[in-house]
Amino acid sequence: MTTGAWIVAALWSYRDTRHETGEMMDAQLAQSAQILLAQAGHEIDDVPVTEVDAAHKYERRVAFQIWDTRRGRLLLRSQSAPTQRLDDRDEGFADRTVDGRNWRVYSRVDRERRLLVQVAERREVRDELATAVAFHLLHPILFALPVLAVLIWFAVGRGLAPLARVARDVAERAPDHLAPLDAGASPRETQPLVAALNALFARVRATLDRERRFTADAAHELRTPLAAVKTQAQVAQGAHNAAERAHALEQVVAGTDRATRLVEQLLTLARLDPQEKLPSIADVDLAAVASAAVAELRSRAANKRIGVTLDAPGPVSVRGDATMLEALVRNLVDNAVRYTQDGGAVVVRTSVDDGAAMLSVADNGPGIPAAERGRVFERFYRVTGTGQSGSGLGLSIVRRIVELHGAVVTLDDGPQGKGLTVAVRFPRGGT
């Protein structure tokens, strides 16, 4: 690239020098013609035709003629000039070929139009001069460029040496070696790269930790429901009557449902954990999402004779991910129905408070003691004494979705100080 740029610069300089040289030589031709006219301004009637000998070898490349325009007679010429006129015109510049030679000709007549002076210069003079200039411009390329190439090679090699050391350090690491690189031992130029690599190592380490935790949690939590399903299946196999067998099979179905819900919640958390921002953002009607969740869970609530009420007087717009918001509302309503005793009540409400969208789910169940409300968002944490065998993941999913939306979730007492109210406040103007 450097060589190409230098060659382009040389060609440009050659073209510019050729132009400027031509202008300068044209000016010399005009000046020479003016001097010849001034010297030949005496009586010319008796002047014989004269030929001026060349005093220098380069004068053969320059020629002049003085003509008597009235008589059409050649009065004076240089030895290099032909006997015929160099050019037919009486004024100005022209390019002519005479006797197979290319000339640059300047013609000038005096005020009385008695004398005509023509001064010419061989084109090869200008070409040789321009070529000489171009050759001198190429000298730096021919001699300095190899030196420059060596210097660039040395400088680049020296400058990239720290990067090579970092590359060797990374290449020699074991797959599970994710400790940060020593940024203090790196030159200032490589510190941004080292910092970026350390940040990448931290993200990979966090991802692996989450995967290990997910695997361990799934193995631990699935062991109990699967063991229960197996036990009930064995009971059904050994049942002595239809009623005993039917009861055991009902327990198999219930255990399968619990395992299915646990797997779904684990997969939901595994999908939410790596997210640093929402995968998609759109305007979502929170009231419509709440209505769909209530309709989905109403049959389960009816089995426990729980009344589920939706208080959504109008649309409530939230900027967020529709799928995550559906999971948020569904988990809150499902928890309320699951932990509320038979014959209880659940109220789902959406509203706008000071420009911020609000969602609340309130029940009159056993509630959560104030001392334990800070821990119920932890994974697999279960409040004792509820009589329910939940997975302890519902509120963990809720907290993660709330974090991704920049919202705030709070726990408070339910209506009349009984039960639990979970309220989510979304930021004004969206996420």
> Which parts of 89-161 are beta strand (E)?
92-98, 101-109, 115-122
User: If residue 66 lies in a helix (H) or strand (E), which one and from where to where?
Assistant: strand 62-68
What pLDDT, on the 0 to 100 scale, is given for residue 358? 92
Backbone angles phi and psi of 279, in degrees to 5: -65, -30
Residue type, 90: D
| Residue range 363-380: mean pLDDT, rounded | 79
pLDDT digits (tens, 9 = 90+) for 319-340: 988 888 888 888 898 888 888 8
Give the count of beta carbons closer than 10 Å to the beta carbon of residue 405.
23
Count of helix runs (H) and strand runs (E) in the chain: 8, 13
What pLDDT, on the 0 to 100 scale, is given for residue 54? 46
- pLDDT-derived band at 125, boundaries 50, 70, 90: confident
Q: How far apart are CA 362 and CA 346, in angstroms?
A: 6
Q: Provide the percentage of residues in the chain whose pLDDT is more than 70.
A: 80
CA angle 11, 17, 20 (to 5 degrees): 145
Q: Provide the percentage of residues in the chain whose pLDDT is more than 90.
A: 8
- pLDDT-derived band at 138, boundaries 50, 70, 90: low
User: Which CATH code, of 3.30.450, 3.90.228, 1.10.3470, 2.60.34, is assigned to 2-132?
Assistant: 3.30.450
The pair of structure tokens assigned to 343 is 């014959």
> Which parts of 270-306 are beta strand (E)?
282-285
Domain 188-271: assigned CATH number: 1.10.287
**All structural domains of the chain with their residue ranges:** 2-132, 188-271, 278-425
Long-range contacts of 379-385 (CB under 8 A, 24+ apart): 379/217, 379/269, 380/217, 380/221
Q: Which region among 76-80, 363-367, 385-389 has the lowest average model confidence (pLDDT)?
A: 385-389
What pLDDT, on the 0 to 100 scale, is given for residue 426? 92
Domain 278-425: assigned CATH number: 3.30.565.10
CA angle 231, 235, 237 (to 5 degrees): 115
Average pLDDT score over the chain: 78
| Residue range 145-157: mean pLDDT, rounded | 77
pLDDT digits (tens, 9 = 90+) for 2-50: 667 767 776 777 777 777 777 777 788 878 877 887 777 655 544 454 5
Instruction: Give me the DSSP letters along 254-274.
Output: HHHHHHHHHHHHHHHHHHHTT
Give the count of beta carbons closer than 10 Å to the beta carbon of residue 52.
14
Residue 387 has pLDDT above 60, yes or no: no
What pLDDT, on the 0 to 100 scale, is given for residue 392? 61
Residue 283 has pLDDT above 80, yes or no: yes
